[in-house]
Amino acid sequence: MHRWKRSLALPVTMVAIALGFLVSLQAHTQKNVSAAEQISAERLTQMKSVLANSQAQNAQLQKEHQNLLTELDTARKKVGTDPQVLDRLKQLQILEGTQAVEGPGIQISIDDRGKNTIFPVSTEDITRMVNTLKFAGAEAISVNGQRIVSTTAIVLSGSSTILINQVPINRAEGVPYELDAIGDPDTLLDYFSKVEAPTLKQNGLIVSITRKTLTIPSFKGSYTFKYAKPIVP
């Protein structure tokens, strides 16, 4: 009888240890899931706030754009050599992205080719990052040399080629993404490092942000209006 009990002691002990490990693992897993859910909820709330503010800022920019267009139309009816008129014209060109600009800002490099990459950069990622930079006060933005303007479309062609302004900015095997933004460097860096960088890094991407003086090219496309016509008073 004692020999029988001794023969069962080891298996019973092993089962007890295994059960204890499973219970501990389940508790730890549940803790991680709860933490992830909390982070996701905070992230969603934060992005909703960014989106709402971006929409408000876009509406204000459109209003300013329309005011400048009105002033330009009035100016064209006057002598075109007036310094104030020319200055206004430059402002309009900068706003429309048809004028190359330079100034202080940040340069963001994102590499999704590493072995730790979980999700590569998508069109949604680029759109979100551009909107965050706009919300942070960026006055001019480019992605891999393509100027972001009011008509810019960021879309996927095929299975992996990303187009900006109808121009491919990557190859099938992927290239690093470079976002240039002119504005207050501290504000831009603070917003991007807190709102965008954490998620990108969680997806295994390599992200670096540098303060520097930038030159952002002009928009190489053209504005074509088939349906919108100016209202003649």
pLDDT digits (tens, 9 = 90+) for 183-225: 999 999 999 999 999 999 999 999 999 999 999 999 887 777 7
Q: Which of 35-44, 50-59, 68-77, 187-196 has the least mean pLDDT?
A: 35-44
pLDDT at residue 25 is higher than 60: no
- Determine the Cα–Cα distance for residues 164 and 173; give it in Å rounded to an integer: 17
Query: What's the pLDDT at 36?
Result: 56
- Domain spans, the chain: 100-219
- In 119-168, which ranges are E strands? 140-143, 146-147, 154-157, 161-164, 167-168
CB atoms under 10 Å from CB of 219, counted, come to 21
Please tell me the CATH superfamily of domain 100-219, with its number.
Protein of unknown function DUF881 (3.30.70.1880)
